[in-house]
Amino acid sequence: MSSTNGEPEPTLLTTGTGSGKTESFLFPILDYCYKNRDKKGIKAIILYPMNALATDQAQRLAETIWNDERLKGNITAGLFIGTGSGDKKYHSDMGADHIIENRDRIIDTKPDILLTNFKMLDYGF
């Protein structure tokens, strides 16, 4: 739902696995971020209870942003789940199949959308 013609209304959605729940909140978030792309900082936080789910959704988000010419280069997203520092190479930029994973980069640049869990939300911000 776009807020183009007024304020969005609170919505409760329940449905089975693989039926489009993510899109029901992701598209309004992307719409909001795009409309506010000139404002820096985090505009939406998506909390996941498990890192595996956040990682899976991060790839979906990357693909959605990358494949839309309006969003690509205008909207950023970061995965802040406890990994992202140390010896392993973590992505510092957006790509066709990944969002920003480097913890220092996320903290320094504050992407438009942050995927995280409760523990890391308390830790980082």
Question: For residue range 108-121, what is the model confidence (pLDDT) as tens digits?
Answer: 999 999 999 888 77
pLDDT at 92 exceeding the cut of 70: yes
63 near 97, Cβ under 8 Å?
Answer: yes
User: In this predicted model, what pLDDT tens digit does every residue of 47-61 receive, in sequence order?
Assistant: 988 888 888 899 999
Can you give the C-alpha Rg of the chain in angstroms? Answer: 14
Query: What is the C-alpha to C-alpha distance for residues 105 and 103, in angstroms, rounded to an integer?
Result: 5
Q: What pTM value is reported for the model? A: 0.84
